[in-house]
Structure 1
Amino acid sequence: MRRGRWSLKSVIIVFVCVVVTFSLLITDLLISSRIASETEKNQAEQARSVARMVAHSPLVIEAMSGKRDEKDIQSYANEMRKVTNVYFIVVMDMNAIRKSHPDSNKIGLPFRGGDEGPVLKGREHASISKGSLGPSLRSFTPIKDEKGKQIGAVAVGISLDNVEKAVKKSRTGIYIGTLIGLLIGVLGAVILARYIKKILLGLEPFAIAKLLEERSAMLQSVREGIVAVDQESKITLVNRAALKMFHKAGLPDNPLGVNIERYLSTTRLKDLLQTGKAELDEEQNLNGMTILTNRVPVIVGNKVVGAIATFRDKTEIQVLAEELTGVRTYADALRAQAHEYMNKLHVILGMVHTGYYEKVVEYINETVNHRNNEIGFVTKKIKDPVLAGFLIGKLSYARESGTELSVLCEQPIPQPEDSDITHELITILGNLIDNAIMAVSGCPLKKVTVSLDYADDILTIEVKDTGKGMSEEIQNQIFNKGFSTKGENRGLGLYLVSQAVKKLDGDLILSSKPEKGTVFAVYIPYDGEGD
């Protein structure tokens, strides 16, 4: 995937700045136009108010009516002009002759501008025109006497320069606001970019896309089923292997977004979200199909934000385990037999060199008969060939380790109707025998006895050793996963035994005393073929 030229932080900052700038410019254009119009309108309204005030002044009315000296109009107009801060106040008669003007030399001269016509006809109005004082915004108001007859008019002007200054002043506020808004936008963009980068763990978009592609490929390629849920126990991810197992178990094909408790009631993912403790190598019933599952919480910032379960059909694991167990047992048996017969060949060679030929013949016959008797006894009493071969291999293994292993069986043990039971029996017997052989190592009497009995559809297995025994404290913990008195990375054998017995609805009894050996007794419901 080609890496982008810009980082995510730069893209966010630039994008937000452009959006904010563009928005503020558009706003400035719209508001500035409106403010300019409003400012001009306000200036015109101010001129109109002053014009009306002068037009309704008794002094002006009397002077225009000839009841007082017209010179008083000039004094009054100048005073009002200073008070109201307007550009000019001109009072004219019906012939547009000025009666007042900022320049007293222009009094008595006609009004200039050409826009006084409407007011002399009695109509109030405003306009922009150029007079003797330059361009200005003008407001015209008629003057009427006490009887309502028009006797003149008032023109109040405001310099266009003042109008433009007012507009610029109003726009300055907008520009300052726009600049402040832009600065705030840039600052917000920087903060937003940092926040997003923090949420994304500092990853750039191309890296996130690459991770997603790799994760998708990895999830879909593994043979284990994978299911992930969020904080609300809703399914957020399911890979192909999981969908295949769900379909096999008769569950709906599209579980995304569904609450895991409604979709699969036997799961413990909802409890895991509360405890935050991983559960490894646990058995789970999936609509009648047994799976082995691992459940782990997803923790971000010391907070559980979800959970993931990985699982696989136990039948497949059992097949692999049986294959592995069979190969290992066969290899152990061959190795033990090779070692055992190498020792016997050394004995025979020594007897040949010394000339004890009759003893050689007697020793060979005894060895062959013992081997035939041992194999014959096991195969005669144990009808399941897999289990029989397993026990024969353990007999060779025990002889190699210097332990006397005896297999006692009065009644024949039929082959089970369910082949899965054989796997569990190998787990039980294998671990119990191995533990017993290790328990007697270093003891004066190295003897292990395996007793098998079948009656009333119950298979009884008893493994007894002459080892050092166990204290009550050890007995209380011996079946816990990971507990061992033999060092680290051990402690699974007896845990697997207890799990196998539990799966077969059996009972497991431990009897042990220090220096008096240990006895494991297992009772399992057993349906044999031909019963």
Structure 2
Amino acid sequence: MVACEGNRVSKTTTRPRFATRTLLLHLGTVALVVALCTGVYLALAVQQLRAEAESTALGIARTLAEDPQVRAEVARISSLQETPEAEVLRNGELQRIASDVSDRTGALFVVIADSDGIRLAHPTSSRIGQMVSTPFEEVLAGNEVVDWQTGTLGESARAKVPVRDEAGVPVGEVSVGFERTGVFDDLPPLLAVIGATAAGAVCLAIIAFLLLRRRWERLTLGVQPEELVALVQNQTAVLNGVDDGVLAVDIAGVVRVSNDAVDRMLGLESPVGHRLAELGLPPAVVETATGGRTTSTAVVGGRVLYFDSRPVIRDGRPLGDVLIIRDRTDLIALTERLETVRAVTTALRVQRHEFANRMHVVAGLIDAARIDDARGFLDELVERGSVAFPVAGLELLSDPFLHSFLGAKGIEAGERGVALRIADETQLIGSVAEPEDVAAVLGNLVDNAVKAAASGERIPRWVEVAVLGDGDALVVTVADSGPGLAGIDPMAPRTPGEDDHDHVHGHGLGIPLARDIARRRGGDLWIIDAGGGEHGAVLAARIGRAVSDTPTTEEKQ
């Protein structure tokens, strides 16, 4: 069982640690390989010793069989009709020669036999004159025989070579053998060397594994593989179970963790293993992800994203940074809509207050029996409306929503010393069908223009709005008396903390969000004139599917 506590993992199982199990497996594998290699090497060594013994025996037998004295003596004895006497053979020249060769070479035996297989020389003198104990027919046929055989002196590596007369006819044999124990006298030292080598190999394997384990634990920060499995499972469950994006970058700027939310928000595809600078992300994202900033905001793919970066440090060692990405598009859009509602509510409150004041005036005129004055006042009220918004040309707007909305904006602008007016070319047939989107786009443009006019040095300060209908699309243009854009792109979002004097024209999030709303409805938002002469900036927006053909109440009348 593996349990996670914060960023620590505790293992409650009684099984040996992975390092111990790996060490045992490692040692077992090394021991098996060493045993196999030792067995193969030992088999080759034994085979080599056998081959050397056989080769030595064959060489001695050949030399002895070619000796002229041996050939002549064996040929003479083989030509006799009767069997030679054993006593004569024991003291004969062949026994002396065989004994000398055996003493010089350390052979187990040197045996000389005639054509009938009678021993003419033998290490055991009592066996001279008797038949040999191993087959000799093949040798008398003229063939050399090298083999391991068991005779009267035990098992030995022996070589049998025919002894030929002057005519080259086999007339006997020479048999030379080496004792088995003598052949393998060199085997114990060889085994000692092999054992020492095997022990050294095992020791090297242990040392190599200890170094490998140390390197492994340093790379994994001491976390065992069982714990890594739990971490991966928990990471997958946590990262893909939240709506926020999580992007982890190591100290080299390589992406190591990226959940589904990050891929969706930033439009990435399998970014893990790639350098952050190679992914084509906005500079604000790259700078925040690598620890250059702690927080920032950017518009990516039409979404307003908030970035929060935190460094990751373990045991005093920096590992990189984790970037938390939150989608604030819906929140900002809701804020814009609430701002619209607040503006309309303020306008309604002003209307109610103004209407109540006028009703008091009418009531006072009636109480004073000034009926004609009261009727004239009511006629003027019907003609002008319930409240007089400080917006020149507002009567050009027949749509009640735009009338109230821009009237409320006019009141707010007036509080800042800016006059809001409606352009003479304003003409809208129909009514607004999507007031929320229209308020978000038009409200941003008007608010930015009011801020620009209020911060400008031109007197008087003004903002002019033109509203036109284009089929089912609403086209608005907003101009102001401010200082203009001064070469700054209003579509680029302003980084929080910067105090740019021209951020009123869109260095926040309002303009990019308004443009995104307009584009989603088949329109766009653009700059007509950057300003700088007699007027400030002029911006325009086209909002598709925002106008309905249904006439307003005033149009019906």
Q: TM-score range by the shorter chain?
A: 0.5 to 0.7
Give 1:330-369 correspondences, 5 Å limit: 330-331=341-342
The Cα offsets for residues 441-468 of structure 1, whole Å up to 9 and x where unpaired, read as: 467857433422325547553434444x
Match of 1:436 among 440, 445, 449: 449
* 2:406 partner amino acid: L
* 1:482 partner amino acid: R
Q: Is the 8 A contact 2:479 2:536 kept in 1?
A: yes
3-state SS of 1:277 partner = coil
Q: Which residue of 2 aligns with 1:391?
A: 406
Q: Which residue of 2 aligns with 1:77?
A: 98
- Give the whole-Å Cα distance in 1 for the aligned partners of 2:386 and 2:394: 11
Q: Is the 8 A contact 1:142 1:154 kept in 2?
A: yes
| Long gaps (5+) in structure 2 | 3-10, 78-87, 249-256, 283-297, 308-322, 357-367, 369-373, 551-557
Give 1:194-233 correspondences, 5 Å limit: 203-223=223-243
Shift of 1:273: 8.3
When residues 22 and 217 of structure 1 are mapped into structure 2, their CA distance, relative to the original with a 3 A threshold, is: same
Shift of 1:281: 3.3
When residues 181 and 78 of structure 1 are mapped into structure 2, their CA distance, relative to the original with a 3 A threshold, is: same
Q: Which residue of 2 aligns with 1:492?
A: 509
Shift of 1:529: 1.9
How much is the aligned-residue C-alpha RMSD, in angstroms? 5.7
Q: Which residue of 1 aligns with 2:135?
A: 118
Shift of 1:330: 3.0
* 1:158 partner amino acid: F
Q: Which residue of 2 aligns with 1:480?
A: 492
Percent identity among equivalent residues?
17
Q: Is the 8 A contact 1:408 1:449 kept in 2?
A: no
Is 2:281 the counterpart of 1:278?
yes
Give 1:293-304 correspondences, 5 Å limit: none
Shift of 1:47: 1.9
- Larger mean Cα displacement after TM superposition, 66-75 or 452-461: 66-75
Q: Which residue of 2 aligns with 1:327?
A: 338
Shift of 1:25: 1.3
3-state SS of 2:431 partner = coil
* Paired residues, number: 449
The Cα offsets for residues 88-132 of structure 1, whole Å up to 9 and x where unpaired, read as: 43435667556364xxxx5x432599972424896756424564x
- Larger mean Cα displacement after TM superposition, 392-401 or 157-166: 392-401
Q: Which residue of 1 aligns with 2:523?
A: 504
Is 2:466 the counterpart of 1:452?
yes
Is 2:73 the counterpart of 1:63?
yes
When residues 384 and 220 of structure 1 are mapped into structure 2, their CA distance, relative to the original with a 3 A threshold, is: farther
| Long gaps (5+) in structure 1 | 229-235, 247-258, 261-266, 285-290, 296-307, 346-356
The Cα offsets for residues 11-47 of structure 1, whole Å up to 9 and x where unpaired, read as: 4444233212112213433543454245334423432
Shift of 1:186: 4.5
When residues 45 and 57 of structure 1 are mapped into structure 2, their CA distance, relative to the original with a 3 A threshold, is: same
* 1:415 partner amino acid: S
Structure-1-length-normalised TM-score: 0.62
- Give the whole-Å Cα distance in 1 for the aligned partners of 2:351 and 2:190: 109
- Give the whole-Å Cα distance in 1 for the aligned partners of 2:242 and 2:462: 44
Q: Which residue of 2 aligns with 1:411?
A: 427
The Cα offsets for residues 464-514 of structure 1, whole Å up to 9 and x where unpaired, read as: 4444x14x7x23444433276249995434444555666614542134337
- Give the whole-Å Cα distance in 1 for the aligned partners of 2:398 and 2:204: 86
Match of 1:16 among 17, 22, 26: 26
Q: Is the 8 A contact 2:336 2:440 kept in 1?
A: no
- Give the whole-Å Cα distance in 1 for the aligned partners of 2:332 and 2:277: 34
Shift of 1:367: 12
Q: Which residue of 2 aligns with 1:348?
A: none
When residues 96 and 461 of structure 1 are mapped into structure 2, their CA distance, relative to the original with a 3 A threshold, is: same
The Cα offsets for residues 346-404 of structure 1, whole Å up to 9 and x where unpaired, read as: xxxxxxxxxxx9xxxx9x9999988634399969926374x566435434433554544
- Give the whole-Å Cα distance in 2 for the aligned partners of 1:237 and 1:442: 43
- Give the whole-Å Cα distance in 2 for the aligned partners of 1:83 and 1:487: 113
Match of 2:536 among 518, 521, 524: 518
Shift of 1:278: 1.5
